[in-house]
Amino acid sequence: MKTKPEAKSSFGRTTAMLMGTLALSIVGGILAIGVLYYGQQSASAEPTIPPGVALTSWFDNGAGGQHLLQIRQGSAPRAGARVTGIVATDTNCDPDPQGLSHCHNRIDLGGGRSFEVVNTHIMTRHPCLSPGQRLSIRRLNAEWVIASEELPSRTN
């Protein structure tokens, strides 16, 4: 019994289409896993908000002029002390995939003392700390400070 040549080519085309569909499904699955993995990595890269702070989300950091700042390095004030500092720099402000910026700021405390912090916030809701801006700073613990924006004094 002989088969028709058209039947063989039709079978070959169907097999090729099924193999192509299978290959695309595998590639799509690998890409989906990669996207999910990357999304979880960036979400877990955010620092955990320390206990005892009224902040419930990084999206609200900076509301009312209050900033929770993570200490990177330098001579931050001792625990419990309240000092005045002046923002010297504001860098690395590009937002992550969730829209949060992790700005790096150097804050001068005077007398040659300064320290560096990371300000995690969403710029469209609460702006970055600006060079020249005065802050009242209180150390929360070994890793964190709370900075309050000092309003310029009013003259009558």
Residue 81 lies inside a defined structural domain of this protein: yes
Are 65 and 123 within one domain? yes
Range of the domain at 26: 1-45
To the question of pTM greater than 0.95 for the whole model, the response is no
Q: Is the dihedral of CA 148, 59, 126, 72 positive or negative?
A: positive
Residue 156 lies inside a defined structural domain of this protein: no
Mind listing the pLDDT tens digit for each residue in 46-85? Answer: 889 999 898 999 999 999 999 999 999 998 888 878 899 9
Are 24 and 68 within one domain? no
- Count of the separate structural domains present in the chain: 2
Mind listing the pLDDT tens digit for each residue in 75-116? Answer: 888 887 889 999 999 999 999 999 999 999 999 999 999 999
Q: What angle do CA 84, 86, 92 make, to 5 degrees?
A: 130
